[in-house]
Chains A and B, each alone.
Chain A
Amino acid sequence: MNEARASGAWVIFATFICAYLLAVLPFPLWAEWARPEWVALVLIYWVVALPQRVGIVVAFSAGLMLDLIEGAVLGQNAFSLSVVACLALVMYQRLRVFNLWQQAGVVFMLLGIHQMLCQWIQNLTSAGAQSLLFLLPALVGAALWPGVLLFLRHLRRSLHVH
């Protein structure tokens, strides 16, 4: 039991590392507004799949790390990802019985809230976006959700993360 728990933690950690790498991967200039929020996607998956293990503490630390990597205001992503994790914790039971595209709709909403909170905090530094384009990552993330879900679920089942 103990060993299984340790190996599981390793898998969760590794998926977050991959999400950070994808988050800083150079993107072509024309698509820079469409970069999906990989860390938020991975976080939502783990909260829905293993709510007893991945919760607000993980969300907070993952967000803090993302702040450091992005060079954002310290606490910006920590705050918004904590809120996202909290919302996901409230509705993970409903989310599980939805089909893929209904889930994608809910994920769109969660990612949208994440983007909005980040935008508000950024506006405090007077460096906010001028248009609604900042919501585009939520749309892209929702479109990617079925793929992310199936991949991570396959990973979780084949590596026996409980």
Chain B
Amino acid sequence: MALAGVLALLLIVADLRFNQLATTRSVLSGLALPFYWVADVPARIGAWGKENFVTRSSLLEENASLRSESLLLKSQLQQMAALRAENGRLRELLNSSALVQDDVLVAELIGISPDPVRHQVVLNKGEGDGVYMGQPLLDASGLMGQVVQVGAGSARVLLITDATHAVPVQVNRNGVRAIAEGVGRLDQLELRHVAATTDIEAGDLLVTSGLGQRFPEGYPVAEVVSVERDPGQAFARVVARPMAQLNRSRHVLLVYHRE
């Protein structure tokens, strides 16, 4: 008993304090993958059934709505091309480096952490697909998190709402910078150390600022829900709601953003 206890405590210390076990862990994470695959089978069958047992009319309906959405997106893209060219010219005038378009890899979520205090998900892409530590993860509507562990065929991602995660953001409206921290709730982020006089209000969109060198600039992160300015407190309490559908998205995007 004493031996097992001491061994376990040594492991805990090695993992927490010295980060000695990162490679061991990534090698051994292959052992955990089959469990996630099998546990994911019911969801897979459900998704397959949903795709294959649909009526003709609902397919036609979906087709029509996708067509109109595509038209809308294309029209926005036209404007985007012009804006990008203009942005490039302006940046040239300012002598600053041009924004490059990021490459993305589509991945599928195959499992979520069974522990409610640990906001992590498991993806079906790993080292073999070029996934690397710290790679940002997006869904269709915003930033989801970053890769914290890479296995051969799977990767573990820490979500932005985890209590140990923080992401540098800026207010899209005026460029005010802040740090958005997770608090352990899937629908909430909090901004740290925002001075009470800062120009920030409910409804503001927070985007990544790119300052941490980890996340590329300009991806939507969250929307400010409430700002409390208590004269008795040193800082304002700013609560935001993540843009990404952290508990719904199954298809996600890994962004390649190496410095």
Contact = CB atoms under 8 A, between A and B. Distances in A.
B163 A127 contact: yes
Contacts of B193: none
Contacts of B114: 23-24, 27, 35, 70
A75 B12 CA distance: 5
Nearest to B148: A71
A125 B5 contact: no
Nearest to A38: B114
Given A21-B38, A24-B114, A82-B1, A71 B120 contact: yes
Nearest to B40: A26
A26 B8 contact: no
Interface stretch (A55-63, A103-111, A149-157): A55-63
A119 to B, nearest CB: 9
A99 interface: no
Interface string B128-164: 0000000000000000000001000000100000111
Interface stretch (A6-14, A44-52, A128-136, A139-147): A128-136
A91 interface: no
A89 to B, nearest CB: 8
Contact of A70 (B4, B21, B113, B247): B113
A75 B14 CA distance: 9
B163 A126 contact: yes
B64 interface: no
Interface in A75-126: 75-76, 78-79, 82-83, 86, 121-122, 124-126
Given A21-B38, A82-B5, A26 B43 contact: yes
Interface residues of A, number: 42
B35 A24 contact: yes
A125 B115 CA distance: 14
A47 to B, nearest CB: 12
Contact of B117 (A64, A73, A79, A122): A122
A70 B113 CA distance: 6
A4 interface: no
A1 interface: no
B235 interface: no
Q: Which of A33, A57, A78 has the most CB of B within 10 A?
A: A78
Interface of B is mostly: helix
A33 to B, nearest CB: 5
Contact of B115 (A70, A75, A86): A70
Contact of A127 (B5, B43, B184): B184
A60 B117 CA distance: 23
Interface string A10-40: 0000000000110111110100110100000
A122 B80 CA distance: 46
B101 to A, nearest CB: 32
A126 B164 contact: yes
Interface in B1-26: 1, 4-5, 7-12, 14-16, 21, 24-25
B118 interface: yes
Nearest to B111: A24
Given A76-B12, A130-B184, A71 B113 contact: yes
B116 interface: yes
B149 A125 contact: no
A65 interface: yes
Contact of B11 (A78, A86, A124): A78
Contacts of B36: 24, 69
Closest 7 CB pairs of A and B: A75-B11, A79-B8, A75-B12, A69-B32, A82-B4, A74-B15, A75-B8
26 contacts: A21-B35, A21-B39, A24-B35, A24-B36, A26-B40, A26-B112, A29-B186, A57-B4, A60-B7, A68-B29, A70-B115, A71-B122, A73-B12, A73-B15, A73-B16, A74-B11, A74-B14, A75-B8, A75-B10, A75-B12, A78-B8, A82-B8, A86-B1, A121-B12, A127-B118, A127-B164
